[in-house]
Structure 1
Amino acid sequence: QVKRLDRTDGDIDALTQRIAHIRTWTYVSFHGDWLGDARHWQNRTRAIEDKLSDALHDRLTQRFVDKSTAHLMMKLKDTPDLMAAVTASGDVVVEGHPVGHLKGFLFEAGGANGDAAGKTIAAAAGRALKGEFRRRVVALEQAPDTDITLAPLDGRDAGTILWGGVPVGRLVKGEALLRPAVRVTASDLLDAQGRDRVARRLERWIADHLARLFRDLLALDKASLTGPAKGLAFRLG
């Protein structure tokens, strides 16, 4: 009887019925005089109930996602402008449905399984986030230099540029050791113009940042040097 309940296939109704049945067996197992080795059956029935409960949660979540995706599909067809908002924590809500998370300029779709659902959410987010991306680009351009930092050089995120503690770019090889280039950390939803503006702001920041840190070394560019000293200055600058 217990063994046949230890399966997670089926729809929501089937899982609900199995949970009800296994709870009955859990009740029985707590009457020590009804079963031999009651402790074994208590552990067994609890483990099965936990497994079934997790499966039921997944089914309920998927049902919600499917309904949300269908609703968004209809809205995308009928409405050119979608009502959208980004919460203070970065959660993206479109037409009342949570569709993902925005971290800096990187959008991470959430709650969708399958190509159709993923494409629908990406399309909805793409329309809805245009204004938010424009606002964030302007905010970064106007942000004081103190709001932008580099991740610790001794960590796994070394070389990452942070804005308000959130990754927005990464240093890559540039023309010289003290003139690195910047690769913007952003999703494809940020258009080319916005990406270029972000890159220019970060390049300006890193140039000023390195100028403060390595003022004397960068001054070698303007110095009249010969021989080995000139070669060293060339490699650094």
Structure 2
Amino acid sequence: MTEPTEQRVGQVMASLQALQQRVLQVQDGLARKEVTFSDQSGVVQATCDGTGNLTAIDIKAVALSYPERLGEQISEAVAGVWLRSDKLQAKAHERYLSELPNPRSFVSLLSGEGSGRDYLSLGDYGSPKIRDSVAEYEERRRATLGVVSSLASRTVRQEIGSNVGMLEISLDRSWIRVAIRPEVPKQVGLERLAAQFVTAVHQAEVNAASNVRMLLEVANGRGV
């Protein structure tokens, strides 16, 4: 590798490292934010951080008078707080993306050309190895998009505590359904019920993430 080429590769690596650091800063900033949402009745309030991690559920005592509605109220509060968190993340990522350099600049650095070439055009790459790599990337990108588009219709179910109830979430976390046994709120208490629910959500999210990884591996030819 010639000295000018080594310098260009070094510049690209430095740029990528700076971008990686910026991603970590964005995620850290989101993790420090707090987002809340209450169901329409105001009985249940859900709290999460800016990354969508559910941190608390607050249930007012009036819920004991209408326990049969509690599952629906929790569902509404959690879905609402996740949606707010998603919007917050979208804004943060939009600001981050606006700071990204044009991908052509990386091609320009590596090729030594001032103007750069269309990085999406396979014909622009003289090396068959590079063309094959780009083609493989595009194939995996399409497979990944296919998986992502199906996540809203795929679900995981998780028991809440011990016979407290059941929750179901989509793999993209775009919706949640919660069923609470009517006799449970008075038996276990609202604070304990809320804590068990948050724990169940975290476990469901772990299972959902595992399912997503498996689907992506299969789609990209790396799974069984």
Q: Do these two structures clear the TM 0.5 threshold for a shared fold by scoring above it?
A: no
Structure with the bigger percentage of helix: 2
Superposition TM-score, scaled by structure 1 size: 0.25
Higher relative contact order (CA 8 A, sep 6+): 2
TM-score where L is the length of structure 2 = 0.26
